[in-house]
Structure 1
Amino acid sequence: MTLIALDGVGRTVELPDAPPLQILSAVDLVIDDGDRVSIVGRSGSGKSTLLNLLGLLDRPTHGEIRFDGAEVRRLSDARLARLRGASIGFVFQQFNLLPGRTAIENVMTPLLYDRGAAFWRRERLAAAMLERVGLGARLTSMPDRMSGGEQQRVAIARALVRRPRLILADEPTGALDLETGSTVMELMEEVARETGAALVTITHDPAIARRAVRHLRLEAGRLVPLDGAEAPGAAPAASEAVSAPERRREFESEPEEVRA
């Protein structure tokens, strides 16, 4: 099932006293539930701009984005914010944890915007997710008292605590050593498999990029397949495409404490 689709998407930025700067042009991309996509590109190629579009943080200058069948251009800012909070999890290179807040307080933050039962159960859900990423003993630890790998796991727990359908990871291992980075990727992939979420990783690291099913390069404002990779918009491998929705149904049928 198609989760998000970009059709001829471009992004242009107006500059003072200079011609408009075209960052992206005619980007076509289809991401399905359970998909695994890596995107590489040089600095300044527009990767962050593309991530902001996929994460519904920005709107395209031209072209069309559909999220779960809804055209993004037609949605209000408030509707986009609710959709983003409920369906998309962000994992950043620099962690972006709140200073002066414990690990559990950081992970609870997205649940403060929930209008349902998750708001009232936010502490228990956050603790369960931290346990899931191996930090059950560090609930009250401050970020500055944690290693880089531990901080990144807190960031992952925060991104996944609302069980998003789309996980966007922006250079998630860039600030980590090789071994810790591999562990972090394995953790994200494992949770994504369990929930049936799509995982899109933007990275400079070829080893991290190769972990995905589809491998794309952002070049001159356009997405192109890497040599030997599947074309943009191609469906994931058959086993992934068939099993992801089934995994999500199985996951959602379990008690929340088990799922976390």
Structure 2
Amino acid sequence: MSGAELLKLEAVTRSVQLPDDSELQILSGIDLTVSEGDHIAIVGRSGTGKSTLLNILGLLDTPTSGTLTWSGTDASRLSARRAARIRGRDLGFVFQQFNLLPGRTALENVMAPLMYSTGRDFWQRRRLATESLERVGLGDRLDSMPQTLSGGEQQRVAIARALVRRPRVVLADEPTGALDVATGRAVMELLDAATGEDGSALITITHDSNVAALARAQFQLDGGRLHPLEVEAAL
């Protein structure tokens, strides 16, 4: 069941100027509302603008036109400092390639977002990171280096890192792209359960219909626009 509105895109476009002075339209009139507890999948082929849309949702990029509202505030009015604070505190990111720090243990990787915190989060960072790894079933791998972990385990470390601050929105960009089908499904079920437990919104960017089928609302990004989509997981 959805709660308070977190993100709202209204008529959002994104275009870039090419070297020949022509304009490349990437997004064209995107409308999307994301509330607490939502699990949304956005499906699209490579090159359709999925990553551009995720960057806008994650306050890493700004629309060319249209409005992005974060928790009731027009994002264009956010200072760079406040936007960075929201990204660090309220947004969690999970990527296809895990992006774990080499030479750092699983625990140290999950602690990393807390190193820039203040107060309780900073002083209790080891306990919070340990609890986050335990949530994803890696309580016995705290001291393991990334290269000693399987792909599924590395992605679970990345999920623990994304969840350690209990963000309000988790953005997952092709989170199963580097995993086999069975492992990918297990990882997505874990991510869905963890965000559901926290009441967080989960937005998954994917090209995989099996991953999209786990979401409660699906959209296809095509021609720069979002269209409602219904998908069924393969047997």
Q: Tell me the residue number matched to 1:234.
A: none
Q: Tell me the residue number matched to 1:257.
A: none
Q: Give, in whole Å, the separation in 2 of the partners of 1:162 and 1:209.
A: 25
Q: Give, in whole Å, the separation in 2 of the partners of 1:108 and 1:205.
A: 31
Preserved contact between residue 18 and residue 24 of structure 2 (Cα < 8 Å) = yes
What is the letter of the counterpart of residue 22 of structure 1? Q
Q: Tell me the residue number matched to 1:64.
A: 67
Instruction: Output aligned runs, 1:20-99, within 5 Å.
Output: 20-99=23-102
1:5 pairs with 2:4: no
1:206 pairs, out of 188, 193, 209, with: 209
What is the letter of the counterpart of residue 40 of structure 2? V
1:107-138: CA deviation from partner (whole Å, max 9, x where unpaired): 01111121221011111110111111111111
What is the letter of the counterpart of residue 207 of structure 1? N
1:112 pairs, out of 91, 111, 115, with: 115
Q: Give, in whole Å, the separation in 1 of the partners of 2:18 and 2:118.
A: 39
1:173 pairs, out of 176, 180, 204, with: 176
- State the shift of 1:193 in Å: 1.2
Q: Give, in whole Å, the separation in 2 of the partners of 1:116 and 1:10.
A: 39
Q: Tell me the residue number matched to 2:130.
A: 127
1:147 pairs, out of 150, 155, 170, with: 150
1:133-181: CA deviation from partner (whole Å, max 9, x where unpaired): 1111111111111100000000000000000010111111111111111
How many pairs are equivalent?
229
Q: Give, in whole Å, the separation in 1 of the partners of 2:110 and 2:214.
A: 26
Unmatched segments (≥5 aa) in structure 1: 230-260
1:160 pairs with 2:156: no
Q: Give, in whole Å, the separation in 2 of the partners of 1:42 and 1:18.
A: 26
Q: Tell me the residue number matched to 2:218.
A: 215
Q: Tell me the residue number matched to 1:100.
A: 103
Unmatched segments (≥5 aa) in structure 2: none
- State the shift of 1:213 in Å: 1.0
Preserved contact between residue 204 and residue 212 of structure 2 (Cα < 8 Å) = yes
- State the shift of 1:18 in Å: 3.6
Structure 1: 4+ residue segments shifted above 3 A: none
Preserved contact between residue 213 and residue 231 of structure 2 (Cα < 8 Å) = no
Corresponding residue SS for 1:28: strand
Corresponding residue SS for 2:22: strand
What is the letter of the counterpart of residue 49 of structure 2? G
What is the letter of the counterpart of residue 29 of structure 1? L
Q: Give, in whole Å, the separation in 2 of the partners of 1:8 and 1:167.
A: 22
Corresponding residue SS for 1:119: helix
Q: Give, in whole Å, the separation in 2 of the partners of 1:155 and 1:63.
A: 32
Corresponding residue SS for 1:127: helix
Q: Give, in whole Å, the separation in 2 of the partners of 1:116 and 1:220.
A: 46
Q: Give, in whole Å, the separation in 1 of the partners of 2:119 and 2:220.
A: 39
Corresponding residue SS for 1:162: coil
Q: Give, in whole Å, the separation in 2 of the partners of 1:116 and 1:68.
A: 24
User: What's the TM-score, normalizing by structure 1?
Assistant: 0.86
